[in-house]
Amino acid sequence: MNDMHATLDSTRKMAAEALDRASASMKDLRSGMSDRASAAQRYMGDYARTGSRYVTEHPLKSALIAAAVGAAVAGLIVAMRHREDRDSWF
């Protein structure tokens, strides 16, 4: 019976240590993720400011670029739908 209690105590101790290590690992992961999220947020802010400045300085060029990108996306969508329609006939 004492062997059983010793085994249970040993198992509990190992489980508690494993939980402590897992908890510490989770804290480290959360800390690292928040650092990366902050850096990503700073980069996105920089890109947004740069884009806004470009549009302010070159409004016509920006509108033409936006129209070209929109036309390209619409063309891709139409081409993909056309391909799906063709594939469904066979």
- Indicate yes or no: pTM above 0.75: no
In this prediction, residue 16 carries a pLDDT of 85
Which residues of the chain, if any, have pLDDT below 50?
none
Look up residue 52 and give its DSSP letter. Answer: H
Crossing angle between the packed helical segments 2-57 and 59-88, to the nearest 10 degrees: 120
pLDDT of residue 70: 96
How do residues 21-30 score in pLDDT, each as one tens digit? Answer: 888 888 877 7
Q: What is the pLDDT of residue 48?
A: 92
Which pLDDT score is estimated for 74?
96
User: What phi and psi, each to the nearest 5 degrees, are found at residue 58?
Assistant: -135, 70
Say what the pLDDT of residue 14 is: 87
CA dist 36 and 30 (Å) reads 10
